[in-house]
A and B are shown apart, each in its own frame.
Chain A
Amino acid sequence: MTPRRTWLVLGAVVVVMVAGCVHRLQRVTTPPEAAATLDRKSPFLKAHLRDGALLVLSSWSVDDTARVVSGAGTRYDMTRAIVGEGPHALALDSVVLFETNVTRPSESIAMMSILTGVSLGVTAYCAANPKSCFGSCPTFYVTDGSRELLQAEGFSASIAPSLEARDVDVLYRARPTMGREVRVDMVNEAYETHVVRYANLLVAPRPSGHRVLPDVHGAYWTVTPPAAPSRCTASDGDCAALLADFDGRERLSAADSFDLGAREVIDLVFAAPPAEPALFIASRQSLLPTFVLYQGFSWLGTGVGEWMATLERRDGETVRRLEGPARALGGIDVLVANAHGGWDSLATVRETGPLAADARLVPLPSTADGGPLRVRLRLAKGAWRVDAAALVSRVSPATPQRLMPAVVLRDGRPDEAARAKLMDSTAPLTTFPGDRYTLVYRLPGEASAHELFLETKGYYLEWMRQEWIAEENRALAASLFLDPAGALRRLAPAFKREEATIEQAFWRSRYAGH
């Protein structure tokens, strides 16, 4: 915990302790004939006498039979000068009114206490696990017909200007409801600066009963609906139903306890493959790669700026080292069984980012005899959330049409300046935490008859945080980039300690605004 945060927590504790003393007072006056109803919880009994004098009694009691009130306390005259102290007893008849005062803790204290407990819990978690509470990239929301759904994260791997890249995301679950119009909300949800060169919509006519999807080489295909594997086996058992379609139900295994780079395999069998088969795979990263990236930032500490500057100079060695941890974690390797009992590697699917799953096709070879097609996925344990691994048939190539935003809204009002920046790739749109733009696209036909893809280009800059500097350790940073495989082994225990709660904490902290 940083010294600043320690002081903040200590300050909060002191304030809570002091504020815990806030009480409310309830006063009741009672005539002597109703002395039996006096509130015994009152620590003091005030007896107002007929001559204006006042007895303030502690340890008081009322004898209803003898009609006497007694106790120890102070007697005041009408000017409130003290005229006697000690034990007192007086007849009820001499009293005009009794007064009791009972305190109770303020109701607001209970509410504030609960809020403080929750708040301190989040603070403690974020202090202990800063890498699970922050982090993002531009996020895009499109309706699925009933709610705004996070469907894409733009250029997730572009964490520096020199890494600026184009990214295409399939808006597979988009169900626009406004005729020819499609609205996409672009949001900056983290402590980052997002520089967006463009955000276009690619649209391709979708024949009834078919889908249009890109393959790993960038070509688009009209395909038949995904067919579930006949058999799907992994270390955790049967996964055929889970991976049947891109429906938000994902498979995620636990990371290896000793090596974050350790691989696992998922074996798929498709009993009756079509003539032009392709594997339809939808996936996103888990928070394991995010953890590793932020651990790198953390160890670099104040040296991040220097490191980023080196990166900007396009120092080849630095770039190669940067890619080291990502290479060690790897993507999802797609392999197909060959006739010799081995496996042939076809492609590696990589979609950077833990927020929104993306989909790709991996063309598969046709089986000579039309027999079963056996496909193997090889991936780092606990590093990938696989939503779908199904089989489609490529029907025909497709060519999407590019659409720029017709209108850009900010806070519900047209923002022509923002739109101009998204139209002119030489003057990008820069967004800051909390910024939200609605991009409106007008399609040539009914949106429901088109497949939609989001094409973005840009980069984003993480805001360096105090928690990261606190962990600065150049030796460990060097080990991550010089010996990434070894670093993944050394990081395994730290990640395993957080693995059970990291997803929940990340989503809770990051998506609080929705």
Chain B
Amino acid sequence: MPVTKSVLATLALATTLAACASNPAPRRWLAPAREAQSDPYGAWIVLRGGQKTVLTSGELLAVEDDSVFVLDANGRVAAVARAAVPSATIAFYDGQFGRTAAWAGVGALSSISHGFGLILSGPIWILSGSLAARADSRAPLITVKEPAQWVGARAYARFPGGLPAGLPRVLPVKPRRQP
């Protein structure tokens, strides 16, 4: 039943991925959770202005009372006024939700071996896999939508205690992980 299999696999994959939140960091920039425990760099941040337009993105260096400091992809330190940033998304590790999605996909495909039980186990796999992958995709993300939330965002900066004096305006960017 190639049609059944392909339909099921496509449905599982589409449903699972549709429910997931994409990680805004560049590929191989963030480390998985275990490696992120000893990562000396800050998290990846995307600052959005009105209409959700992206103001800038890069490594979160520090959050001060009136400004957010970001190291952009070219190694330049940028200061953005917090008042100009209605929202921001911070990603502090690679949640690897693709693995959960793959697990759900293989599980949904395996339900073909359940005979008529496929009618129950197929949707259960798709639903559970979607929920699991959705949760794993969102776990590494912190969303800032209120001014008060910037306080909590400091923990994800390279300098959680504030920008040190004498920081050069140009810094080496974080090297990407090897594939």
- A positions within 8 Å CB-CB of B: 5, 8-9, 11-12, 15-16, 18-19, 21-25, 27-29, 42-44, 46, 48, 50-52, 54, 56, 58, 74, 76, 78-81, 96-97, 99, 101-103, 106-109, 111-112, 115-116, 119-120, 122-123, 126-127, 130, 133-134, 136, 189-191, 433-434, 508-513
Report the nearest A residue to B37, measured CB to CB: A101
- Which 8 residue pairs of A and B lie closest in terms of their CB atoms, listed nearest first? A52-B164, A96-B161, A108-B132, A512-B120, A133-B115, A513-B119, A23-B33, A101-B37
- In the bound assembly, the distance between CA atoms of A137 and B110 in angstroms comes to 25
Most interface-central of A106, A133, A134 (chain B CB within 10 A): A106
- In the bound assembly, the distance between CA atoms of A509 and B113 in angstroms comes to 10
Return chain B residues, CB-CB under 8 Å to A21: 32, 96, 99
- In the bound assembly, the distance between CA atoms of A472 and B155 in angstroms comes to 65
Tell me whether A48 and B160 are in contact (CB under 8 A): yes
B167 in complex: contacting residue of A24, A78, A433, CB < 8 Å: A78
Report if B109 contacts A (CB, 8 A).
Answer: yes
Tell me whether A119 and B99 are in contact (CB under 8 A): no
Return chain B residues, CB-CB under 8 Å to A120: 110
Report the nearest B residue to A110, measured CB to CB: B132
Return chain A residues, CB-CB under 8 Å to B161: 48, 50, 96-97
Q: Tell me, rounded to whole Å, the shortest Cβ–Cβ distance linking B127 to chain A.
A: 10
Report the nearest B residue to A4, measured CB to CB: B113
Tell me whether B106 and A509 are in contact (CB under 8 A): no
Q: A80 and B40 in contact (CB under 8 A), knowing A19-B103, A512-B119? A: yes
Report if B36 contacts A (CB, 8 A).
Answer: yes
Q: Tell me, rounded to whole Å, the shortest Cβ–Cβ distance linking B20 to chain A.
A: 12
A106 in complex: contacting residue of B100, B156, B166, CB < 8 Å: B100
Return chain B residues, CB-CB under 8 Å to A99: 155, 160
Return chain B residues, CB-CB under 8 Å to A97: 160-161
Q: Can you give 15 A-B contacts (C-beta < 8 A)?
A: A12-B106, A15-B106, A18-B99, A24-B95, A24-B139, A24-B140, A25-B93, A56-B40, A78-B164, A96-B160, A101-B37, A119-B107, A126-B113, A509-B116, A513-B116
Report the nearest B residue to A80, measured CB to CB: B40
Tell me whether A115 and B125 are in contact (CB under 8 A): yes
B136 in complex: contacting residue of A9, A11, A106, CB < 8 Å: A106
Q: A434 and B119 in contact (CB under 8 A), knowing A8-B110, A52-B164, A101-B37? A: yes
Interface residue ranges of B94-126 to A (CB < 8 Å): 95-97, 99-100, 102-104, 106-107, 109-111, 113-121, 124-125
Q: Tell me, rounded to whole Å, the shortest Cβ–Cβ distance linking A132 to chain B.
A: 9
Tell me whether A123 and B110 are in contact (CB under 8 A): yes
New A-B pairs, 6, CB < 8 Å, besides A15-B99, A119-B107:
A15-B106, A101-B38, A111-B132, A123-B113, A126-B115, A508-B117
Return chain B residues, CB-CB under 8 Å to A12: 106-107, 110
Q: Tell me, rounded to whole Å, the shortest Cβ–Cβ distance linking A384 to chain B.
A: 24
Tell me whether B100 and A29 are in contact (CB under 8 A): no
- In the bound assembly, the distance between CA atoms of A133 and B109 in angstroms comes to 17
Return chain A residues, CB-CB under 8 Å to B118: 512
Report the nearest A residue to B99, measured CB to CB: A19
Return chain B residues, CB-CB under 8 Å to A28: 155
Q: Tell me, rounded to whole Å, the shortest Cβ–Cβ distance linking B15 to chain A.
A: 15
Counting contact residues on chain B (CB < 8 A from A), the size range is 35 or more
Tell me whether A11 and B106 are in contact (CB under 8 A): yes
- In the bound assembly, the distance between CA atoms of A270 and B167 in angstroms comes to 104
Q: Tell me, rounded to whole Å, the shortest Cβ–Cβ distance linking B120 to chain A.
A: 4
- In the bound assembly, the distance between CA atoms of A123 and B117 in angstroms comes to 10
- In the bound assembly, the distance between CA atoms of A509 and B102 in angstroms comes to 25
- In the bound assembly, the distance between CA atoms of A173 and B53 in angstroms comes to 66
Stretch at the interface among B44-52, B81-89, B168-176: B168-176
Q: A112 and B33 in contact (CB under 8 A), knowing A11-B106, A44-B38? A: no
Report the nearest A residue to B121, measured CB to CB: A119
Tell me whether A512 and B121 are in contact (CB under 8 A): yes
Return chain A residues, CB-CB under 8 Å to B27: none
Most interface-central of A21, A108, A109, A111 (chain B CB within 10 A): A108
Return chain B residues, CB-CB under 8 Å to A133: 114-117
Tell me whether B154 and A119 are in contact (CB under 8 A): no
- In the bound assembly, the distance between CA atoms of A16 and B33 in angstroms comes to 18
